[in-house]
Amino acid sequence: MKKTTTRLADGRELIYYDAFDATDRSAVDPRPLDPVATASEIRTDPLLGDAVAIASHRQGRTYHPPADACPLCPSRAGRHTEIPADSYDVVVFENRFPSLAGDHGRCEVVCFTPDHDASFADLTEEQAALVLDAWTDRTAALSQLPGVAQVFCFENRGAEIGVTLGHPHGQIYAYPFTTPRTARMLDSLAAHRAATGRNLFDDVLARERADGRRLVLDGEHWVAFVPYAAHWPYEVHLYPKRRVPDLLALDGAARTEFPQIYLEVLRRFDRIFGPQADPTPYISAWHQAPVHAADRDQFALHLELFTIRRTPGKLKFLAGSESGMNVFINDVPPEAAADRLREVATTP
């Protein structure tokens, strides 16, 4: 992998990740951009303890531009985008409209491919491996920034999810706090260890593999399953079999197998609702140990993938119970979801 760091016209950092060392990345950004102005603020809910980012400047962000005005495509003669080069493998750059900025963290955009009409599932294993390398490299770099407590790599896919740019891309948030969801996992982890002396993540994984009804894929180094208490209609958790706290700690064998397993899961997601259905909207979220957590080696890196679509043409809305009380009601039994994901296998 070749890594090349440069700056956009407004001073934001941009990094090319290339498969070949000979690639020329000397193109510059000629756009007359004003400096990025943000008004990000972190407020704490006194009742729940949740942190909320207030980011009013995001109201002016780019919203569903036509394909020929996409800011994530490579630059062309007469049309300059966020990526100065006329092609790329994987690119990461600072978000021009960040939810977190300055002392309140950092937000980055990850472009998976220059092909505007592709998706992550369309990548080759080599391309997906390069994205994994970029996620890992950015996790390492962002973890070293002063004040960063947690690094979150994720992808939102589909207009139903709220995506405003159709180009295949993800994001990375560097939070100045441990997120509420992760804090709850850490509390459960500590309570289970105090009660049993064992690791909760290890026990969950062992239970799913022993039960087998919710398994989707069981590779040599990774296992994918629908969780016992899945919140979403179709939800898959992907774990390395050797527990590690973050992407940096994955060994070579796990890194090699990941693209095979993950691409297969994504391709099955696109087949859940039949060949005539639109591409399945989803959120794909990496869960990594907080940077400075005590006993962070007890945390288990894992990826959670889920869709808000429950049947063709119908979405799972977060209504009164979910939004008002955070009690999810799932219309699809996890065992049935796993059956469906096994039925739609795309490989022999």
Catalytic residues: 169
DSSP code at position 252: H
Asked if residue 287 lies in contact with residue 303, where contact means CB atoms within 8 angstroms, the answer is yes
State how far the Cα of 171 lies from the Cα of 167, in Å rounded to an integer: 12
331 Cβ partners below 8 Å, 6+ apart? 233, 310, 316
216 φ, ψ (degrees, to nearest 5) = -110, -50
82-121: burial string, b at 16+ Cβ within 10 Å, e else: bbbbeebbbbbbbbbbbbbbeebbbbbbbbbbbeeeebbb
**Among 304, 298, 54, 50, residue whose Cα is nearest residue 178:** 50
Q: What are the C-alpha distances in Å from 143 to residues 110, 304, 306?
A: 17, 21, 26
What are the structure tokens assigned to 102, written together? 């300055």
Asked if residue 226 lies in contact with residue 233, where contact means CB atoms within 8 angstroms, the answer is no
Angle between helices 180-196 and 200-211 (to 10 degrees): 80
State how far the Cα of 206 lies from the Cα of 204, in Å rounded to an integer: 5
100 Cβ partners below 8 Å, 6+ apart? 40, 42, 53, 55, 106, 107, 173, 174, 175, 176
10 Cβ partners below 8 Å, 6+ apart? 33, 34, 35, 36, 96
DSSP code at position 76: B
State how far the Cα of 271 lies from the Cα of 251, in Å rounded to an integer: 31
